[in-house]
Amino acid sequence: MNNVIFVNATRFLVLLLIQILVLNEIELHNFVYPFIYPLIILLLPFETPRWLEMVLAFFLGLLIDIYANTIGFHAAASVWLAFIRRGIMQLNAPAGGYEPEQKPVMAIMGFNWSIIYIGLGVLLHHLVLFFIEASSFEYVLSTLAKIGVSTLVSVFLMMLYQFITVPKQ
Amino acid sequence: MRNLFLFLAKYYGFFVFIALEVVCAILIIRFNHFQRTRFLSSAGFLSANVLNAKSSVTDYFSLTNQNTELSEQNAALLEQLHNGTGQVRYIYTEDSCLIEEGMAPSIWKGTTVDTASTRKLYKFIPAKIINKTTLKLHNYLTINKGENQGVFPQMGVMGPNGVVGIVHKTSANYATVMTVLHKESRISALLKKNSHFGSLIWDGKNEFLAYLKDIPTNVSVVPGDTIVTSGYSDFFPEDIMVGTVENVDREPGSNFHTIQLQLSTIFRKIEHVYVIDFKDRDEVRALESNNINE
């Protein structure tokens, strides 16, 4: 149990620093806003209590917001992601259901499961985030384009992170 | 009653979700409305210190460009000094200098201004940008000077090439600046050649282009015309560069031009700015508030 907490706390810190110090600085063509911090929520163990997931997501989002001067935007999108991730798991459940000791990481669930899970989660997260930021449907097309491109880049970075951090057998 | 508890227990995840999203909605409304934020921003103590440390590392990568820019400014200052434009009075203190109005704008524009015609005193506080955004709909800078150095909300901010924005929030040693690239930003600007003035706004689409509104169609405007600050607000002295006209359009049935202009400040490159402290601000505001009360 302590080990689970340690692993998740380390991941929390590492991904948060990558997000704040590196990814927040990336500016490409007005369209690409890569985010890696949603992975912290997506990789929480299956048996995490639902309220804890959402409270963690709230404070994680708020931390990102404080550095980006966008109080509430990331918090709202993160809580939404924490709420919806159970639904994505149901949609994406393997034939025999989930085993109790499994974790939603690529090393255990496999590449295909992982990319569908992360792809859907990030898309729904970015959808909420960018529409809150635009705070209107005035620029729907450019907002959708931002969401599409940013989702691709975010998913790529998250999968890359999972490839790099595969635990040694 | 028992059924109610069972109902709550069964769907508690959903209620936690709704409760947290309501908190988020309150935060968004409370903290993202123009000029209502006071804390939890990048002027905050914790985040500003981290960003300051980051900035002290990343600064090395642009030293060459910064040096070139600073030496160009020095050259312009020296030129100004030796050309002797009117009775210029300047006092250097530790990290700021007092300059008669008229002196400062011409430094940046390379033209001369008759300083004898104006009496307002401006203080320029140099500051370094430690964090910024340029590609959002509401863009802010964080600078490393705050209330201890005399930076307060509602002061104008300019860069080497022209107008940058207005100080938004301040803490003891840091401040955030609402840039021209902000959908709520309104800065009074005028056409230099005929002094017709309007307000400068930004549509959130392109970090290099802004719009000048309220110029009537009977005024002739052509691409290439210079747009400068008007001096009608107490944020900026008159005659600070804003940009050049890129495109002039007229919407059918409108009596006003839609003027698109190329901003002279390139926000993604700028690293050093000057906060403009108008010495008689309180006196002018007190006087003007009397007008409103009457």
- Binned at pLDDT 50, 70 and 90, residue A39 comes out as very high
What is the model's pLDDT at position A61? Answer: 93
| Cα nearest neighbour of A135 on chain B | B137
Residue B284, classed as helix, strand or coil, is: helix
Query: CA-CA distance, B259 to A87, in Å (whole number)?
Result: 50
What is the model's pLDDT at position B279? Answer: 75
The residue type at B90: Y
What is the model's pLDDT at position B9? Answer: 74
Q: Does A133 contact B20 at a Cβ distance shorter than 8 Å?
A: no
Tell me the domains of chain B and their CATH numbers.
45-182+269-280 (2.40.10.340), 187-263 (2.40.10.350)
What is the model's pLDDT at position B294? Answer: 61
Q: Does B41 contact A132 at a Cβ distance shorter than 8 Å?
A: no
Q: Does B13 contact A79 at a Cβ distance shorter than 8 Å?
A: no
Q: Does B21 contact A30 at a Cβ distance shorter than 8 Å?
A: no
The rounded average pLDDT for each run of 10 residues, N- to C-terminus, in chain B (294 residues) is 76 87 84 49 61 76 75 64 45 43 44 44 79 85 89 88 90 91 87 88 88 86 89 80 88 83 89 82 82 68
Mean pLDDT of chain A: 86
Query: CA-CA distance, B95 to B117, in Å (whole number)?
Result: 27
The Cα of A45 is separated from the nearest Cα of chain B by a number of Å equal to: 16
pLDDT in tens, A74-125: 999 999 999 999 889 888 887 777 777 778 888 888 888 899 999 999 999 9
What is the model's pLDDT at position A80? Answer: 94
- H/E/C letters for each residue in chain A? CHHHHHHHHHHHHHHHHHHHHHHHHCCECCCECCCCCHHHHHCCCCCCCHHHHHHHHHHHHHHHHHHHCCCCHHHHHHHHHHHHHHHHHHHCCCCCCCCCCCCCCHHHHCHHHHHHHHHHHHHHHHHHHHHHHHCCCCCHHHHHHHHHHHHHHHHHHHHHHHHHCCCCC
Kindly report the CA angle at A130 between A126 and A135, in degrees rounded to 5? Answer: 145
What is the model's pLDDT at position A30? Answer: 67
Q: Does A79 contact B41 at a Cβ distance shorter than 8 Å?
A: no
What is the model's pLDDT at position B96? Answer: 45
Q: Does B13 contact A54 at a Cβ distance shorter than 8 Å?
A: yes
Least-confidence region, from A24-33, A129-138, B93-102, B216-225: B93-102
Is residue A130 within 8 angstroms of chain B, CB to CB?
no
Handedness of CA B250, B209, B134, B151 (dihedral sign): negative
Interface of A with B in 36-65 (CB under 8 A): 50-51, 54-55, 57-58, 61-62, 65
- Partner residue opposite A27 with nearest CB, options B17, B54, B134: B134
What is the model's pLDDT at position B177? Answer: 93
- A102 close to A109: Cβ distance less than 8 angstroms: yes
What is the model's pLDDT at position B145? Answer: 87
**Do the strands B156-159 and B162-170 form a parallel or antiparallel pair, or are they unpaired?**
antiparallel
**What mean pLDDT do residues A45-61 have?**
90
Interface of B with A in 191-220 (CB under 8 A): 204-207
Q: Does A66 contact B41 at a Cβ distance shorter than 8 Å?
A: yes
